[in-house]
Amino acid sequence: MVRLVLDPEGTVVPDVAAGLPGRGFWLSARRDAVKTACEKNLFAKAARAKAIAPPGLAGEIERQLTRRCLDLLGIARRAGATAVGFEKAKAQIQAGRVGVFVEAADGSAKGRAKMTGSAPQAPVIDVLTGAELGAAVGREYAVHIVVEAGPIADKLLREATRLGGFRTDRPTDVQTDVQ
């Protein structure tokens, strides 16, 4: 779910951190749910007021969720809770310190399968590109990142799950009602 609020002018503003003041309303974290809510003017119904959905609202939500995921990866890196690259990630797996795998969406399917197959119980995040991952961990490009188990890995998994709703072409079976 993604929280949205109205600014003083009545424009719909994404609040992915759920910290902005005012009465918020929640929407499924899916690109098609945002599109449907805009087309049917569901924001005005939920807010019981005039609501203007700006063009590119889904894209803005995606940008904010991407930023949150990359920030969390940066925090994990600075905390020493990441292993970047195939060999370092493999060593982290052998040590049993896998909270979540982060695999580049544009990485080799064979290489990704080889890495994730060594710890099949660990959740996999694959919604970020290699360039985005590289920027988060101080490299030009990264394909394999292991984040140690803990609160950062848990939060990263939640945020990446929300981001996945904006980076997929699969149809949704999730309700698009605004709450």
What does the DSSP assignment read for 117-158? TTSTTS-EE--S-HHHHHHHHTSS--SEEEE-SSHHHHHHHH
Domain assignments of the chain as residue spans, ordered by start: 2-55, 65-164
Q: Which residue is it, tokens 């292993």?
A: 83
Give the tokens for residue 124.
Answer: 């996999």
Give the tokens for residue 38.
Answer: 């805009």
pLDDT attached to residue 64: 95
pLDDT digits (tens, 9 = 90+) for 109-161: 888 888 877 777 889 899 999 999 999 988 889 888 999 999 999 999 999 99
pTM attached to this predicted model:
0.85
Rounded Cα–Cα distance for residues 27 and 2 (Å): 5
Rounded Cα–Cα distance for residues 126 and 142 (Å): 12
pLDDT attached to residue 174: 35
pLDDT attached to residue 35: 92
pLDDT attached to residue 179: 40
Number of H helices, E strands in the chain: 7, 7
65-164: which CATH topology? 60s Ribosomal Protein L30; Chain: A; (3.30.1330)
pLDDT attached to residue 169: 54
Rounded Cα–Cα distance for residues 87 and 157 (Å): 23
pLDDT digits (tens, 9 = 90+) for 16-73: 998 988 878 899 999 999 999 988 988 888 888 888 899 999 999 999 999 999 999 9
Helices (H), 17-105: 31-39, 42-47, 57-78, 86-94
